[in-house]
Amino acid sequence: MNRLLYRKLKDRLAFFLILVLALCPTLPLFHILLGVVKQGISSISLEFFIHLPKPPGEEGGGVGNAIVGTLMLALSASLLAVPIGILCGVYLSEYAKGRFGEAVRIAADVLQGTPSIVFGIIAYLWVVKPMGHFSAFSGSVALAIMMLPVIVRSTEEILRMIPETLREASLALGVNYWRTVLKVIIPTGLVGITTGILLSLARIMGETAPLLFTAFGNPFWNFNPMQPVEALPLVVFKYAISPYEEWIRQAWGASLVLTGLVLVLNLSARLLARRMGGHGR
Amino acid sequence: MAARTVTDPKELAIFEVRDLWAYYNEKPAIRKVSLKIPEKKITAIMGPSGCGKTTFIRCLNRLHELTPGASIKGEILLRDKNILEMDPVLVRRKIGMVFQRPNPFPTMTIYDNVIAGYKLLGVRLKREEADRIVEEALRKAALWDEVKDSLHKRGTYLSGGQQQRLCIARALAVKPEVLLMDEPTSALDPKSTAKIEELIVELKRSVTIVIVTHNIAQAGRVADYTAFFYLGELVEFGPTSEIFTVPKDPRTEEFLKGKFG
Amino acid sequence: MRAQDADRLFYYLCGGLALGLILLVIGIGLTLLWGSLPSIKAFGFKFLWGKVWDPVNEEFGALPFIVGTLITSFLALIITFPFAISSGIFLAEYAPPRIAGPLSALIELLAGIPSVIYGLWALFYLVPVVRWFEMRLGAPPFGLGLPTASLVLAIMILPYAASITREVLKMVPQELKEAAYGLGATRWEVIRGVCLPYASSGIVAGLVLSLGRALGETMAVTMVIGNRSEMPTSFWDLANTMASVIANEFTEASKDIHLAALIEVGLLLFVITLLVNILARMVIIRLKVK
């Protein structure tokens, strides 16, 4: 009887220990979110969204150019990565057998695990150096490489889930394979593929390291992809380590905007994924 | 065992299969099958599960070779032309297929599902022509009255039996010469099954039908000819009435008595 | 063009792009190697254990950064370990699904917050806390440095490690657990005796993957580590990691040899994370075989 009591006590004790240890780490995570909201909200105004930054020491100004730059980088990175990523995913799910397919998957995993700063170096050596100057384009090359593995693997996984009979239904109608892929298989998996794209976008929108020596930053408006461009994460970095109070305040503001963007992307990916889950059956 | 000579059907044959072997990873699933399939008749392919009946009809529209590791040997003549030497895409235009489970395209409306054979190929149809094809195919599939007011809803909202008739309409819309059916009622309730069977009998006026079934009663109800497969071989082939009343091979008899399950 | 030709073309297009993915990885490795050639030629293997990093006198040894990276990453892993395992166990075994689902989704959402924002937060909230401790303990009160960087890394990799642990624990077959319950085991005994042993290699793989993340993490570390390119001599020292030195000096490197040395640091980082990921992969494959 004593033994049972001891065992039960141990069970309780383990539970409380786990509960405490499990809940502890949520505190800093929530604190970050709250901090960003609390500190950032005071910077948010219409001016903040549409104006250029002011020189240090002056009040006001905004991060309009950085918002435009971030969107521009995300858009051009998507233009590069989405078609290539989807077709690679198609290859893995529809054709790849044996060692070559495995090698492609390993390549995607390696890209996924490579530190983002390395892509910055690569884009510098591949684009910036030959061109002779920093540019938004070089930044989007670095970001596109980061998007690729996410899109490739999620596309592969989604397309694998599509029932074989749908492929056969199309083929049996005398539709050739590439049309079957583009018009039946991809549309059927479109929701899932979109989820993957949104997740990869969320991953790269907040990236700073690959942009440091590619997109570089630019205190003015720029809509030319061949010129340096500002981006929200670059602004956060630059302002956060600056000695100016006004800039630090704006770093929090920019963080709030950036966090909002990333969370919205993540949330919509999740909602889409859930809708698909309910729809599939 | 040597291949059994099969009684030639009296009717004009649309398909002539000669010494067909089909393999999965070198393992034969069809062993030297030869038979002639009569035109505008219903031919049932029957046998216990795993006897190669599905593999057999998947050879007839060259879907078999899409399975990884699958290969095929022999001759399949469609009106004296060997389909194994034709472009598979063209073969499948002439030979439609209906699958075990209804598989309408989930992203398409009922209307688009019916003309999928055109849309997916990038064939541009005039509005009136598309309307005509859709109505004709749905009428042939005995579905028109049930869906004519909801043509632009998703195909997946229909019931199982309706979905299967939609798939039949989809196959008929490209005007195939032969319609292959792979246990088309195995996923359906008895009422939907009866409806599909009625439809099949109706359809033989315009198209040759080859239907795989493990349901003896179904073969008896709909088929003009019946082929009995066992372990990848064609055991017996002939008019359904003969096969069912005076089977020549003891294995056929045992199957008809329900010994194989 | 016949239908088959179009299909073949499409196949080659997809296959070519897939091949491109492999070539991309190889290209990245070769480019880094090529870019760091001047440095490799000048310093050879001494680059790996040279303690002096002096751009002015063009002497480059990466040991301070390798040490900085290893200390912060492993420390972060050690700090995060008990919390991540507990969170994983809690979410997989204790929390009712109605709580576990949203809670893990929330934690994963927070894990998506950009690194630079973790850095900003650490700079303004974590640094004062560390400084307070340093003053109590009689250490130099930088606030910045190795301990702060390790802490922020620990916080950053935690959601990741926790969610992998949770997923691996979810894979433990229900029958096994029921068998143990059937023998009269308590919940803790089932977790301890059945779930954790079954999931152990998966958990290890998850930790290795988290380590890979910590090794390459750049921004948050750069902002709080103090950026001192000398060998750290104590736990409280300012330091630099491989990633942070690249982030700090790359655009300022005016000499070719300096740039090449930084690229070589990048090459090292690439190779190390590659090895770590291969290691994790091997553990996962072994898990699948089991």
Q: Could you tell me the maximum CA-CA distance found in chain C, to the nearest angstrom?
A: 81
Task: Give the C-alpha separation, B198 to B205, whole Å.
Answer: 13
pLDDT-wise least confident of A23-32, A76-85, A110-119, C237-246 = A23-32
Of A97, A169, A175, the CB nearest to B99: A169
Average pLDDT over residues C79-108: 90
Q: Residue C2 CB: number of other CB atoms within 10 A?
A: 11
- Cβ distance C4 to B89 less than 8 Å, yes or no, reads yes
- Cβ distance C113 to A32 less than 8 Å, yes or no, reads yes
Beta bridge partners of B43: B210, B225
Residue A253, both tokens: 């503001």
Percentage of chain B lying above the pLDDT 70 cut: 95
pLDDT digits (tens, 9 = 90+) for C253-266: 889 999 999 999 99
Which has the closest alpha carbon to B225: B241, B212, B214, B213?
A: B241
Task: Give the C-alpha separation, A202 to A205, whole Å.
Answer: 5
pLDDT band at residue B2 using 50, 70 and 90 as cut-offs: very low
C100 pLDDT more than 80:
yes
Q: Which chain C residues are within 8 Å of B89, Cβ to Cβ?
A: 3-4
* C-beta separation of C6 from B91 below 8 A: no
Q: Given CB atoms, is B64 within the 8 Å cutoff of chain A?
A: no
List C-alpha distances in Å: C116 to C123, C152, C224.
Answer: 10, 11, 11
pLDDT digits (tens, 9 = 90+) for B228-259: 999 899 999 999 988 888 888 888 888 888 76
How close does chain B come to C2, measured CA to CA in Å? 8
Query: What is the structure's pLDDT at B254?
Result: 87
* C-beta separation of C128 from C143 below 8 A: yes
How close does chain A come to B72, measured CA to CA in Å? 18
C110 pLDDT more than 90:
no
Q: Given CB atoms, is B116 within the 8 Å cutoff of chain A?
A: yes
Task: Dump the DSSP string for B164-185.
Answer: HHHHHHHHHHT--SEEEEESTT
Q: Testing the interface with A: which of B99, B113, B114, B164 to mutate, by most A Cβ within 10 A? A: B99
Q: What's the full length of chain A, in residues? A: 281
pTM score, whole prediction: 0.89
List C-alpha distances in Å: C276 to C99, C214, C283.
Answer: 34, 11, 11
Q: Which domains does chain A have, with CATH numbers?
A: 38-52+60-280 (1.10.3720.10)
Q: Which of residues 143 through 182 in chain C touch A, CB cutoff 8 A?
A: 155, 158-159, 162
Q: Which chain A residues are within 8 Å of C85, Cβ to Cβ?
A: 21
How close does chain C come to B89, measured CA to CA in Å? 7
Residue B40, both tokens: 């505008």
B46 backbone dihedrals φ, ψ, rounded to 5° = -125, 155
pLDDT digits (tens, 9 = 90+) for C195-232: 999 898 889 999 999 999 999 999 999 999 999 999 99
Query: What is the structure's pLDDT at B261?
Result: 52
Percentage of chain C lying above the pLDDT 70 cut: 98
List C-alpha distances in Å: A205 to A31, A257, C38, C124, C220.
Answer: 22, 11, 34, 23, 16
Average pLDDT over residues A215-240: 94
- Strands B13-24 vs B81-82: parallel, antiparallel or unpaired: unpaired
C5 pLDDT more than 50:
yes
C290 pLDDT more than 80:
no
Q: Which chain B residues are within 8 Å of A276, Cβ to Cβ?
A: none
Q: Which domains does chain C have, with CATH numbers?
A: 36-289 (1.10.3720.10)
B7 pLDDT more than 70:
no
Which has the closest alpha carbon to C82: A17, A162, A272?
A: A17
- Cβ distance C113 to A262 less than 8 Å, yes or no, reads yes
Task: Give the C-alpha separation, B57 to B153, whole Å.
Answer: 32
Average pLDDT over residues C90-101: 89
Average pLDDT for chain B = 88
- CATH superfamily, domain B13-257, is P-loop containing nucleotide triphosphate hydrolases (3.40.50.300)
Which has the closest alpha carbon to B237: B56, B55, B72?
A: B56
Query: What is the structure's pLDDT at B49?
Result: 83
Contacts of residue C246, defined as CB under 8 A and 6 or more positions apart, other chains included, come to: A117, A120, A121, C218, C262, C265, C266, C269
Q: Which chain C residues are within 8 Å of A143, Cβ to Cβ?
A: none
Query: What is the structure's pLDDT at B65?
Result: 86
pLDDT digits (tens, 9 = 90+) for B17-71: 999 999 998 899 999 999 999 999 999 999 888 888 999 999 999 999 888 888 9
Contacts of residue A117, defined as CB under 8 A and 6 or more positions apart, other chains included, come to: A209, A210, A212, C216, C218, C243, C246, C247, C266, C269
Q: Given CB atoms, is C24 within the 8 Å cutoff of chain A?
A: yes
Query: What is the structure's pLDDT at B121?
Result: 85
**Angle CA B16–B21–B22, to nearest 5:** 110
Residue A34, both tokens: 């709250």
Task: Give the C-alpha separation, A63 to A48, whole Å.
Answer: 6
Query: What is the structure's pLDDT at C1?
Result: 56
Average pLDDT over residues B199-205: 91
- Cβ distance C94 to A236 less than 8 Å, yes or no, reads no
Q: Given CB atoms, is B66 within the 8 Å cutoff of chain C?
A: no
- Cβ distance C83 to A216 less than 8 Å, yes or no, reads no
Task: Give the C-alpha separation, B7 to B151, whole Å.
Answer: 46
Q: Residue A262 CB: number of other CB atoms within 10 A?
A: 23
* C-beta separation of B20 from B72 below 8 A: yes
Of B68, B99, B100, the CB nearest to A97: B68
Q: Which of residues 53 through 82 in chain A touch C, CB cutoff 8 A?
A: none
What's the complex ipTM? 0.93
- Cβ distance C115 to A209 less than 8 Å, yes or no, reads yes
- Compute CA A113 distance to the chain's CA centroid, rounded to the nearest angstrom: 14
Task: Give the C-alpha separation, A254 to A265, whole Å.
Answer: 17
Average pLDDT for chain A = 91
Average pLDDT over residues B163-168: 94
pLDDT digits (tens, 9 = 90+) for C270-284: 999 999 998 988 887
B216 pLDDT more than 80:
yes
Q: Given CB atoms, is B69 within the 8 Å cutoff of chain A?
A: no
Percentage of chain A lying above the pLDDT 90 cut: 76
Of C7, C109, C110, the CB nearest to A178: C7
Query: What is the structure's pLDDT at B90?
Result: 86
A5 pLDDT more than 90:
no
pLDDT digits (tens, 9 = 90+) for A61-117: 889 999 999 999 999 999 999 999 999 999 999 988 788 999 999 999 999 999 999
Which has the closest alpha carbon to A124: C160, C3, C27, C35?
A: C35
Task: Give the C-alpha separation, B260 to B226, whole Å.
Answer: 17
Which has the closest alpha carbon to B161: B130, B132, B198, B116?
A: B198
Query: What is the structure's pLDDT at A281?
Result: 31
Q: Which chain A residues are within 8 Å of B63, Cβ to Cβ?
A: 168, 171-172
Beta bridge partners of B236: B228
- Cβ distance A166 to B105 less than 8 Å, yes or no, reads yes
Contacts of residue A256, defined as CB under 8 A and 6 or more positions apart, other chains included, come to: A36, A37, A39, A40, A41, A43, A44
Average pLDDT over residues A187-211: 94
The chains in contact with chain A, meaning 3 or more Cβ pairs closer than 8 Å, are: B, C
